[in-house]
């Protein structure tokens, strides 16, 4: 179920690279710090859950790590767990800080606030439907499907390119949107099989003269002081 490919979504009204010829742009994709819900395996989605004590320490460490690189702007989800992480990064740079609700995690509807085990028991039809049509099946109770998530995240990303041409930008967001952005660079379409990145991991994508590449993915070396520097090998694709 998690590894199946998804039909291409090209967003035909938009182009893939919005910079000028010769522009060089770097984007640092940072997942928010740990929350109490992350620790307990609770699905968050659009719930506004704060960072845990460990999450605040993770945010401080990723901020210090990114203080060593040039960052011209920081864009963030407007949910507190991302905002607080973003502020730890922005304080090391003389740059603008923008909060954008389009960078939120996928809305999980009635699944929010529950564990995955509870959701599998309560909503078996959702998981069954995803086996054959994972891209277009919305989360129960008014939630989003993967296409909804991919479209809004890509529109936010295209706007960032327009607003910050030739700039180096940190994007602080959630596991789902980072999967969207890495999928876009690697394949030009959404791939649900990409693993969920770790809390406050840094993935980097760049564009050199119109050519995209993934420079690094799920980098957590900066978390070594607190022992969180070993990347999980979990195949859990549902940490929303």
- Asked if pLDDT for residue 104 goes beyond 70, the answer is yes
User: When comparing pLDDT for 10 and 131, which is higher?
Assistant: 131
Q: What percentage of the chain carries pLDDT values higher than 90?
A: 81
CATH 3.30.2000.10 fits 24-226, yes or no: no
pLDDT for res 238: 41
Determine the Cα–Cα distance for residues 89 and 85; give it in Å rounded to an integer.
7
> For residue 231, what pLDDT is reported?
62
Q: What is the 3-state secondary structure (H, E, C) of 53-122?
A: HHHHHHHHHHHHHHCCCCCCEEEECCCHHHHHHHHHHHCCCCCEEEECHHHCCCCCHHHCCCEHHHHHHH
pLDDT in tens, 125-182: 999 999 998 899 999 999 999 999 999 999 999 999 999 999 999 999 999 999 999 9
**How would you list the strands of the sheet with 73-76, edge to edge?**
96-99, 73-76, 168-173, 24-31, 202-208, 211-219
177-234, pLDDT tens digit by residue? 999 999 999 999 999 889 999 999 999 999 988 899 999 999 999 999 999 887 654 4
The answer, yes or no, to whether residue 112 has pLDDT greater than 50, is: yes
Q: Beta-carbon neighbour count of residue 68 at 10 Å?
A: 8
What's the rounded Cα separation, in Å, for the pair 160 and 23?
14
What is the reported pTM? 0.89
* Residues taking part in catalysis: 32, 105
């Amino acid at each position: 179920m998690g590894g199946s490919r998804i039909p291409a979504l090209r967003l035909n009204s938009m182009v893939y690279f919005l910079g000028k010829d010769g522009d060089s742009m770097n984007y640092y994709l940072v997942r928010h710090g740990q929350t109490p819900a992350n620790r307990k395996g609770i699905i968050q989605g659009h719930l506004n859950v704060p960072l845990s004590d460990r999450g605040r320490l993770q945010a401080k460490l990723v901020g210090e790590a990114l203080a060593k690189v040039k960052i011209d702007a920081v864009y963030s989800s407007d949910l507190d767990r991302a905002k607080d992480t973003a502020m730890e990064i922005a304080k090391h740079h003389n740059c603008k800080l923008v909060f954008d609700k389009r960078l939120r995690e996928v809305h999980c509807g009635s699944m929010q606030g529950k564990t995955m085990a509870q959701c599998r028991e309560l909503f078996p039809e959702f998981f069954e439907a995803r086996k054959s049509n994972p891209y277009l099946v919305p989360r129960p109770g008014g939630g989003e499907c993967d296409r909804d998530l991919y479209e809004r995240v890509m529109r936010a990303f295209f706007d960032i390119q327009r607003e910050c041409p030739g700039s180096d930008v940190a994007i602080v967001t959630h596991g789902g949107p980072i999967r969207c952005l890495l999928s876009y660079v690697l394949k030009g379409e959404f791939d649900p099989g990409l693993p969920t990145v770790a809390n406050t991991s840094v993935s980097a994508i760049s564009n050199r003269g119109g050519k995209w590449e993934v420079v690094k993915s799920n980098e957590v070396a900066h978390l070594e002081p607190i022992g969180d520097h070993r990347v999980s090998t979990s195949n859990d694709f549902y940490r929303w």
